Amino acid sequence: MPSRPNEGSVRGLIIPIGGAENKLHNPEILARFLEICGGDNARIAIIPTASELEDTGPHYRRLFRKLGVRNAQVLPIFEREDCEQGESLTQIQSAEGVFLTGGNQLRLSTTLGGTEVAQLIRRRNAEGMHVAGTSAGAAFLPEHMIAGGYEGSTPSPDMVTLAPGLGLTNHVIVDQHFRQRDRLGRLLTALAYNPFAVGVGLDEDTAAFIGPDNCLEVVGSGGITIVDPSGISYSSMDKAHRSDPVSLVGIKLHILVSGGRYDINNREATADP
């Protein structure tokens, strides 16, 4: 569950990124993340756990330093025992921002889940630290995580696998590489199981900057698909067999591009004029 802010504290932003963010020619998303963390003086903790590539963490460190941040540190978190190490906890405790790289979200959940690192990230986010994640890192941010699934636009019971995530918010379920990998069906399936959360489908090079008021702003070159299941009047999920198509009536869907906003609490979308 998300940690509750202390009296006088304002929760930091939660920033899921759809993957393949522009890193060289117009790194708008990463630059915005670093700006809200404090610009050149920001302290950024990079968590490369999702990736099996040794250079992923150092790559983002070089990139953040190129964008002007002098203090960007890669946390050596690869096994569960690493999540109890004092140096990593110290870095998170003093950071203005945490960045989770892409890779495999199950590596994140199985390594960080239930550890002191995960608990500290939730507490620090409640105290004002900003947390961003790209691709697998984005899927891991909410309480309910899409761990895997199949491509396609029509939902079916076997289309998605869900697992516990980091738990920074329980208001959304996030899917990434959304339009590029045809993932509408698996997001709809996840929402059909229990239509309480808002579905956020992130295109590549596109991010949702979710503020402490639960208002979401779109940043990047693609779009975000917002799926609001609160008005569902009929679902065949309880009757469908494993690979059957599922009928859903009453789903509301929005497509928002850069500058668009969505109020998660009131379920209201506005486009940038």
Q: Residue 237 is part of a domain; what is its CATH number?
A: 3.40.50.880
For residue 271, being part of any structural domain is answered with no
HEC string of 155-207 equals CCCCCEEEEECCCCCCCEEEECCCCCCCCHHHHHHHHHHCCCCEEEEECCCEE
pLDDT at 273: 73
> For the purposes of burial, counting CB atoms within 10 Å of the CB of 36, is it exposed (0-12), middle (13-18) or buried (19 or more)?
middle
pLDDT at 81: 96
DSSP assignment letter at 19: S
Q: Assign 186 a pLDDT band (cuts: 50, 70, 90).
A: very high
List active site positions. Answer: 135, 177, 204
pLDDT at 179: 98
pLDDT in tens, 228-249: 999 999 999 999 999 999 999 9
For residue 54, being part of any structural domain is answered with yes
Counted domains in the chain? 1
Q: Assign 1 a pLDDT band (cuts: 50, 70, 90).
A: low
For residue 270, being part of any structural domain is answered with no
For residue 273, being part of any structural domain is answered with no
The distance between the two most distant Cα atoms of the chain, rounded to a whole number of Å, is 56
169 touches 180 (CB < 8 A):
no
Mean pLDDT throughout 3-9? 83
For residue 1, being part of any structural domain is answered with no
Q: Which two tokens stand for residue 168?
A: 């920074």
Mean pLDDT throughout 68-92? 96
Cross-strand pairs, 116: none
94 pLDDT exceeds 90?
A: yes
- The model's pTM: 0.97
Give the domain range for residue 148: 14-263
Mean pLDDT throughout 56-85? 96
Q: Which two tokens stand for residue 184?
A: 């509408």
d(Cα 201, Cα 21) in Å, to the nearest integer? 15
For residue 8, being part of any structural domain is answered with no
For residue 272, being part of any structural domain is answered with no
140 φ, ψ (degrees, to nearest 5): -80, -20
pLDDT in tens, 141-181: 999 999 999 999 999 999 999 999 999 999 999 999 999 99
HEC string of 102-135 equals CCCHHHHHHHHCCCHHHHHHHHHHHHCCEEEEEC
Looking at residue 238, its amino acid is D
223 pLDDT exceeds 70?
A: yes
d(Cα 106, Cα 141) in Å, to the nearest integer? 12
The fraction of the chain above a pLDDT of 90, given in percent, is 95
- Which among 247, 71, 50 has a CA at the least distance from the CA of 139? 50
The fraction of the chain above a pLDDT of 70, given in percent, is 100
For residue 3, being part of any structural domain is answered with no
219 touches 28 (CB < 8 A):
yes
272 pLDDT exceeds 90?
A: no
